[in-house]
Amino acid sequence: VIESFVECIERPQLNPSVPVSINRALVDCEVAGKEVKAGTRLVLPIGQMMQESYEEGQKFMPERWLTPSGDSIDEEKRLEFIAFGFGPRQCPGRHLAIRELLCNAALLLRNFDHFRLHDDQVVSPKFSNPLTTCPKNLVVRMRCRAP
């Protein structure tokens, strides 16, 4: 169960590093009642889409990705995860990024036993450039584990 739980990809669902996806319509189609011609550039707010797709989408709930029994990742829900884009232009480094998140989390948990945000700190993403976000002025207090 623990292996499945660490695979729950909640952080990028809440605040994807790249909160928008820029694509082109491949064929004439209709989007939200509007006619869209092939070749039209579409800017998709994937961060907002992912938060609005789930009940309590702005809450940290890693268990939302598990099967009802809680023992594995729900593969259908994994397909809904679009923080790394989707389709033929999906981020080729997505698996590496998730593995880095897991490795860094494991190292932090192994070496520290107390994490706390600075008093009264609210963490919210800020744009670091026109396309990506990261927390600004984030202060975390940590205590090293005893050897």
Residue type, 99: R
Helix (H, G, I), strand (E, B) or coil at 121: coil
| Residue closest to 18 by CA, chosen among 123, 108, 93 | 93
End-to-end CA distance of the chain: 28
CA distances from 99 to 7, 140, 145 (A): 9, 22, 24
Distance CA 67, CA 1 (A): 11
The total number of residues written for the chain in this structure: 147
Binding-site residues = 91
Binding-site residues for heme = 91
